[in-house]
Structures are given as C-alpha cells and as structure tokens.
Amino acid sequence: MEVINNLQDNLDLIRMEILNDNLVIFPTETVYGLGANALSERAVNKIFEVKTRALNNPLIVHLKDKSEITKYAYISNDVEQKLIDNFMPGPFTLILKKKDIIPSCVSAGLDTVGIRIPIDDIAHEFLEGVGVPIAAPSANISSRPSGTKVLDIKGEFENKVNYIIDGGESKIGLESTVVKVIDNIPTILRPGFITYEDIKSLIGSCNISNHVLNMVKDNEHVESPGILYRHYAPKTKCLLVYSSDLNKLKELINNNKTKKTIILGSNKLNDINCYKYLNYGNTVSQIAHNIFSKLRECDKLNGDLIIIEGVKKEGLGLAIMNRLIRTSNFNYIEL
Ligand code: AMP
Ligand code: MG
C-alpha cells in the first residue's frame, strides 16, 4: 500500500483508482474512510469483501458539498433542511430517502441512504477531485476499532488497498452522528461529535434511539443495522466501569482479581496497582481523539483484561460510551 502525502500532486492517480472501481483510504475529521465509487456496484461490493462487512449493514455516501445532496436523495421536510443548513458540512450523517441512482447494495436494500459532507480539507479535495460520490465505512476490518491514524490502518489493509491518503491523526476520532428524522423529530441512531444537546437546541426536540446504549432484543425493530454487529473491539477481553465517585471506581477496579489487568483511563487512575496503565486523555475530546488507537495499543501488551474507565453519558460523552459499551461487548458496570 502506498501512502500519499501530497494529494494535489497525485489527484489524477487517485481519480483513476476510484474510476477503475478500486478502493482508496482517505482521511476525514471523524475517522479514516475506506472509499469506493458509490455509483458502481462492483466498487461498492469490494468494500464489503475487503472489510468483511455484513451485506445488510448500509454504507454512508460522502459528497463534496450540499448542492449535491438532491442528486442522490430527497429532502422531505423542513427539519431535514434545517439539520442540513446547520450541521453540514461536518461530522454529521443524515438518513434521507434514497434516489434510484444509488445502487441498493450501498444502502443494503433500504429505501434510505446516509449522506455526509466532511469538513476536512483533504477529504474535500479528494471528493472534489474524484468527481463521484464516495461510499465509505470506517477504515478497519469489521468488529475492530476504527482507523484514526495511518500506521494503525496500514497493517490491516496491506495488499488489499493500493493507496491511503495521509491526513495525520483524525481530529475528532469518533465516527459521525447519524440522525434520521422520524415523524418530524430528529432521532439519533449513532451519537457523535454533534451532540443530542446541539440538535435539541436547534430543532426543539430530539430522540435518542434505544439501541445507542442498549443491546438489541430478539425480533426488535432496528433503524440502524450497524448496531447489530460486534464493533470497536480489541482482541483482549474488556470491562467498562463507571462511577462519578472516584473511591467507588477504584474499589471496583481493585476488586478485580484478573492477573494481567491493563487499565485504560484518565490520570485519576494512574496510581492504581495493575499490570499496565495507559492514559487515554483527560477530557472528553482527548478521549474521543485517542480511544481507538489506545485500544489497539492495549492489544499489543498481552494482558488478560482491559478495564476501561467510562465517562458521563452527556455531550460527547454519550458517543464515547456508545462505542465503549460495544468495545466491551456490554460487559459494563456502573456504580
Ligand atoms: P460505518 O460505516 O462503520 O461508519 O457505520 C455506518 C453506520 O451508519 C452504521 O451504524 C449504519 O447502520 C448506519 N447507516 C448507514 N446507512 C443507513 C441507513 N440508510 N439507515 C439507517 N442507518 C444507516
Ligand atoms: Mg465502522
């Protein structure tokens, strides 16, 4: 895999790679994407194959600017329009009614499509340069932590993808907020950097899907098929713990008798006796930025268990907890 450091000088190469139905990994402000021409079924199928992604897990379509949206989807009401006006471009995906030009493999047979317009400069240059909409999931093999830096991603896709465009570490580090307007109310299917509070203060109402923090029960209707699958997970077993009371949190951790316990948390926990301690940052933005790469780092330490410090489920903290609950496969204790 070749790392492209200067996109401007290599735009023709990258455009041809995409138009030849091959995959290109590109940076965005959220995480890196594994991109293909969204209008080509052949190219899109390669994403599912290379990522080993379930075929019923739909992909988000990335566009260069807002004027493109109605080429591929219908804006059906004022709430959708307002969300577009305020949160796009940015770390925000809106689920809209799909137009026929988008092949059904992109949306996994649904009549809707997720639309996102990244605000990152290199992502914009890439999307403008290739001239076609780009279907892209996060750049990681399915079930693994999302890719937020070139070194983490390169190993996973070596010999499978020819080019990765280097944009440095992803600024935000967590995937976009996914929203669908249901009965005129924005509903968060996946929390992200654009928060519940942001949407509520703009529209006046906002719902959060039940599945953001809870497991899907048998036969329950699922709005966002992605949540059916194992996600964001290192190979080492994880336990997620949260308490607003530091003493209780430490007690919880100290009660754990696993031999080689790795602690991944803030500097509040740096004095705990354990096999290895890794700091994931001390604010929610730092944690979001670092978390996926730190989980990969933990995996290299040959521990028996990773205990991850949880955060308060508000603001960006909701998105962090949504990811970590899945990282730990719902192995979660809150006191
Ligand atoms: P990823 O591509 O790994 O960032 O995940 C994309 C997320 O967006 C998954 O959770 C999908 O379920 C969700 N998604 C994409 N398209 C749709 C859609 N048309 N309807 C509902 N959820 C969607
Ligand atoms: Mg993903």
Question: CA-to-CA distance for 166 and 24, rounded, in angstroms?
Answer: 11
Q: Is 7 in the pocket of ligand 1 (CB under 6 A)?
A: no
Ligand closest to Cα of 147 equals 2
| Band of pLDDT at residue 252, cut at 50, 70 and 90 | confident
| Class of domain 2-212 as given by CATH | alpha beta
pLDDT single digits (tens) 114-134: 999 999 999 999 999 999 999
Residue 75: is its pLDDT beyond 80?
yes
Give 238-334's CATH code, choosing from 3.40.50.11030, 3.40.50.2300, 3.20.20.210, 3.40.50.970: 3.40.50.11030
pTM score: 0.95
Residue 300: is its pLDDT beyond 90?
yes
Ligand 1, atom 21, residue with closest C-alpha:
224
Ligand 1, atom 9, residue with closest C-alpha:
226
- Domain ranges within the chain, ordered by starting residue: 2-212, 238-334
Question: What DSSP state is assigned to residue 176?
Answer: P
List the beta strands (DSSP E) in the chain. 2-4, 24-26, 33-37, 60-62, 73-74, 92-98, 112-116, 134-136, 163-165, 177-182, 185-190, 207-208, 238-242, 261-265, 276-279, 305-309, 332-334
Ligand closest to Cα of 30 equals 1
Q: Is 110 in the pocket of ligand 1 (CB under 6 A)?
A: yes
Phi–psi pair at 179, nearest 5 degrees: -130, 140
